Amino acid sequence: MARDPEAINRILADLVRPEARGRLLARGLARGMVWKDGVVPEGAPDFSPSLTPDLLDFGYGVLALALELRDANRDRAASRQFATDEAFRVAAEAIESAVRRGDPNHGDQGRHLVVSAAAFHLAGYAARSFSLLPLPTLDKNLASHERALALLLRRDLTSLRARIVRWHSEHNDETVSRRLLDENDEFGPEDAAVLALVTSYHRGLGLADTALTAGDRELFDAASRVIESVISAATRIGNIPMWWVATLTLHLLRDLWHQSLHVILPSGPNPELPGRWDDLRRDFIARLGARQPPHIDLWPSQITAARRATDPSDDLVIALPTSAGKTRIAELCILRTLADRKRTVYVTPLRALSAQIERVLARTFVPLGATVTSLYGASGVTLVDSKTLISADIVVATPEKLDFALRQDAGVLDDVGL
């Protein structure tokens, strides 16, 4: 029976306070500043031998409660949902500080790092999550399902797909049956049960990947049910590591779906959308999904703006730091403008930035049949510049070039939608 979410929320509120458990997290972070390969240098403050197990116990306890509260949020209105980001951050930092600079030969270090990375991701710290999973981490002592979760967190879907295919080819029913019948093989029924669990996990991941690629909600729901069955089976047989991996995977996949372009960008019969919209939307999503790494979802900083970007009557101002996702929002605005059969002028303050933006937009929109060019350089406007500004679907221009063009022909932007 599920516990009262209000009670869980109160418990978490106490646990995430800085002074929780004698400032346990602060002690762990302090040790991490001087720790190297599990050794504290001479002259450093004394840290309790139980600090590592205490941090892991604390981190996993907070993480379990945060996941439970997050599940409860699914049945609550958005205005009544519990805040869980801080709890996930505290859990992630506790687990990270317990192992990240610890003994690299410890067999469980890789697994803990993957769990910590997943917790950071659920807390909204995707970049910090990624930083915990450099390629050497994937070479640590990770089970197949733990490595698959790490690849999902890294958005390395190409490697993930290859791993799923390889797993199913190497662990099919015929192979399992042969091993069970081999008297010289110590592989027994319990091993076969665990293998079946891991196979189901990989199957669920494969279904989810296909659903995210195609935007198929029914297939995604089927994938979620497979992962849920893995969680249930892992609970029954007491396979705690598998329970953690499958539970975190389910939460991550749900986030991926709800933040995917398939969900965020409107589609289907809609009198407010132009007739070309669905085709351009489909091709746009397919192009982004084919990139390496695939761009299948939006960042939290982009979602609200993305929902408004397809409304041409909405005056939208985006204020985000460098590399926080402004160009993707601009691409969505351009996509809607192209669907309206209008042209776009993208104004940039610098010539170097204009050249960069031209390459980025060309990569996205030339395969969709749009022409992309730039208008920057020396002062003044030539006849070629004027023709470029009049004819191209997408023009990247500096302010001075655009100003000169408008002085020569005030109607040059009459069919520009953005």
For residues 65 and 272, the model is more confident at: 65
How much is the pLDDT for 83?
A: 95
Q: How confident is the model at residue 55 (pLDDT cuts 50, 70, 90)?
A: very high
Once rounded to an integer, what is the mean pLDDT over residues 165-182? 89
pLDDT at residue number 133: 93
d(CA 416, CA 364): 19
Name the token pair of 353. 């930035």
Percent of the chain residues past pLDDT 70, beyond the cut: 94
Does pLDDT of 389 surpass 90?
A: no
| Rounded CA separation 204/201 (Å) | 5
- Looking at residue 182, what is its pLDDT? 86
d(CA 392, CA 374): 9
Token pair for 232: 């249930």
* Nearest residue to 123 via CA among 77, 78, 91: 91
Query: What's the burial of 30, exposed, middle or buried (CB within 10 Å: 0-12/13-18/19+)?
Result: middle
Are residues 360 and 327 in contact, defined by beta-carbon separation less than 8 angstroms? Answer: yes
CB 62 within 8 A of CB 93: no
Mean pLDDT confidence for 396-403: 82
| CA–CA dist 279, 408 (Å, integer) | 36
Q: Would you say residue 166 has pLDDT above 90?
A: yes
What letter represents residue 244's amino acid? W
Question: Environment class of residue 268 by beta-carbon count within 10 Å: exposed (0-12), middle (13-18) or buried (19+)?
Answer: exposed
Mean pLDDT of the chain: 90
Q: Check whether 282 has a pLDDT greater than 90.
A: yes
Q: Please, which pLDDT band fits residue 398 given cuts at 50, 70 and 90?
A: confident
Q: How far apart are CA 381 and CA 407, in angstroms?
A: 10
pLDDT of residue 273: 84
With contact defined as beta carbons under 8 Å apart, do 338 and 361 qualify? no
Among the ranges given (85-89, 267-271, 298-302), the one the predictor scored with the smallest mean pLDDT: 267-271
Q: What is the pLDDT of residues 133-152, one digit of tens each?
A: 998 888 888 999 999 999 99
Q: Which residue do the tokens 């067999």 mark?
A: 107
**336-363: string of b/e by CB count within 10 Å (b at 16+)?**
bbbbeebbbbbebeeeeebeebbebbbe
Would you give the DSSP letter of residue 267?
-
Q: What is the mean pLDDT of residues 31-51?
A: 91
Give the angle 104-110-114 at the CA atoms, nearest 5°. 145
Q: What is the mean pLDDT of residues 96-107?
A: 91
pLDDT of 411 strictly over 80: no
pLDDT per residue as tens digits for the range 188-239: 888 888 899 999 999 999 999 999 999 999 999 999 999 999 999 999 999 9
Does the pLDDT of residue 404 top 50, yes or no?
yes
Greatest CA separation for the chain? 89
Query: In the prediction, which pLDDT does 324 show?
Result: 81
End-to-end CA distance of the chain: 54
The number of beta carbons lying within 10 Å of the beta carbon of residue 23 is 13
Cis, bond preceding 293 (omega within 30 deg of 0): yes
Q: Are 205 and 221 in contact (CB under 8 A)?
A: no
Tokens of 108: 């469980």
Query: In the prediction, which pLDDT does 1 show?
Result: 41
| Mean pLDDT of the 307-332 span | 87
CA distance 122 to 99: 20
CA-to-CA dists, residue 411 to 290, 380, 390, 399, angstroms: 39, 17, 9, 17
Long-range contacts of 354-361 (CB under 8 A, 24+ apart): 354/396, 354/397, 354/398, 357/327, 357/396, 358/396, 360/327, 361/331, 361/334, 361/394, 361/396
User: Is residue 406 predicted with pLDDT exceeding 80?
Assistant: no
| Residue 3 pLDDT level (bands cut at 50, 70, 90) | confident
Q: By the 8 A CB rule, do 209 and 157 touch?
A: yes
Q: Please compute the mean of the pLDDT values over residues 150-160 and round it to a whole number.
A: 94
pLDDT at 379 over 60: no
The answer to whether 28 touches 45, Cβ cutoff 8 Å, is: no
Whether the pLDDT of residue 168 is over 80: the answer is yes
